[in-house]
Amino acid sequence: MDKDFRYVWHPFTQMQDYQEHEPLIVERGEGVMLYDVDGRAYYDSVASIWTNTLGHAHPALTDAIIKQAQLVSHSTLLGHANVPSILLAEQIVDIAPDGLSHVFFCDSGAEAVEIALKMAYQYWQLKGRPEKKRFVKFVEAYHGDTIGAVSVGAMERFHETYRDMLFETFEVPYPYCYRCPLGLSPLTCAHACMEELKTLLAEKADRIAGVILEPVQGSSGIIPMPDDYLREIEALCKKNDVLLIVDEVATGFGRTGEMFASDHDGVEPDLMTIGKGLTGGYLPVAAALATDEIYEAFLGTYDSNKTFYHGHTFTGNQLGCAVALENLRLFKEERVIEHVQDVASYVAGRLQQFWDLPAVGDIRQKGLFVGIELVRDRATREPFAFEERIGWHVGNRCRENGMIMRPLGSVCLFIPPLIVTKEQAGAMLDILYRSIKEETRERMGGHLR
């Protein structure tokens, strides 16, 4: 603990506050469980920040890494190739939405977003349309923490500090119908938000390179788009000659009950970013996917200056690609998507119990991607004050009760490894229910049932 406090700077963590509490130091994992250095067991209800698919210490995934390491652990992809990256690219194209036929590997979701933005920007230059250089982003979007990703993000608390470093974008409302950004009722919110995008594209498409979005906004509180909403955006982009960039870093690889969230609406993006669950949460591999149309615009002679000048040292790392291949093999063999759909249906039923808690204002679910928004007053939707740290308190109570749950502000999460059983999901939800009840009882004036 002392060495942790002395040497490690943790992400998204106020370190002064962190050092006032006993840290949880993980030593090992097994299945849906994590164990700390004192041997205490915890359910991993957030899949180690939404990455774990097949459980911790899965023997087949571990073996895939070992076998590859006995051959070669890394060689450059800059102007050369390696076997696992070729095989993985083929597998990704096979499961991706139709039309996405080329894979550019990288190390993280934020880097994948940077790549997609740069591809879109350069694509229009190569097509003789250099004026198309701006991007459309959505209110409360989060696409990562690199400067390009922050530029197309819109979470003020995260991004305001860096505003002067960012490039200009157009911003439109996202259909967060529980708290409509336009101040409208849930019945009219989605339509009005779509009208804002229609108007923007109709007026300024000649200056717009692409629209980037999350089919389920993750870091802003697990907010799914309404059914068919993404399909309508796709049609608008095609009509106005604007590229559609879908960020599936959090939603890909079964999390929402389909391989990709785009599949729910049958959408075929021009560019798509993936990461997190690609390797089962074992090693950092991500990618940007592009269509033939975009890829071919970059083809030319050596001196044509059409090269995509972008890359990372560990792009296409063999260890990461090998474990990703095994992860995708097991997805098919163990019918993970069907399992997610089955457990998600069970979870939907269990979530109804949470309405017994007065502090629960909204419950949002897409597959095994669940957010429970806590409020001070359900009738008025009055939120808990930021300073009250209600989500943080519930997370700490979950830890005391044997579960790791990292909230998003006042939104409590349930995002378990995809192999979670109904019994395990039920046990996790029992802990979450009890923790919310215990932490909100006093704050809600003791009026809990």
Nearest-angstrom CA–CA distance, 275 and 264: 19
> Is 306 one of the annotated binding-site residues?
no
Residue 247's closest CA among 105, 390, 111?
A: 111
To the question of whether residue 67 is assigned a binding role by annotation, the answer is no
Residue 276 annotated in ligand binding? yes
DSSP string, 394-442: HHHHHHHTTEE---BTTEEEE---TT--HHHHHHHHHHHHHHHHHHHTT
**14 is written with which tokens?**
């106020």
Dihedral (CA of 435, 436, 441, 442) sign: positive
Q: How far apart are CA 215 and CA 213, in angstroms?
A: 6
Contact 214, 269 (CB under 8 A): no
Residue 158 to residues 54, 153, 164, 388, 408: CA-CA distances in angstroms? Answer: 31, 9, 14, 18, 12
DSSP-derived 3-state class of residue 330: helix
How far apart are alpha carbons 211 and 246 in whole angstroms? Answer: 8
144 marked as binding residue? no
Distance between CA atoms of residues 159 and 161, nearest Å: 6
Q: Is 264 annotated as a binding residue?
A: no
Structure tokens at 449: 């049932």
Token pair belonging to 12: 């998204």
Q: Using an 8 Å Cβ cutoff, are 220 and 176 in contact? A: yes
The CA distance from 261 to 151, in Å, is 23
CA torsion 106→107→112→118, rounded to 10°?
-60
Residue 204 labeled ligand binder: no
What letter represents residue 129's amino acid?
Answer: R
Which CA distances in Å does 300 have to 81, 113, 194, 231, 303?
20, 25, 39, 33, 8
How many CA atoms within 13 Å lie on the side-chain side of 443? 22
- What is the Cα–Cα distance from 288 to 249, expressed in whole angstroms? 10
Residue 247, annotated as binding a ligand:
yes
Q: Annotation-wise, does 109 bind a ligand?
A: yes
- Residue 381 is labelled as binding a ligand: no
Closest to 209 in 3D by CA, of 258, 159, 244 = 244
The phi and psi torsions of 83 (rounded to 5 degrees) equal -65, -50
Residue set of the binding site for substrate: 142, 276, 311, 406
Annotated binding site: 109-110, 142, 247, 276, 311-313, 406
Q: Which residues are annotated as a binding site for pyridoxal 5'-phosphate?
A: 109-110, 247, 312-313
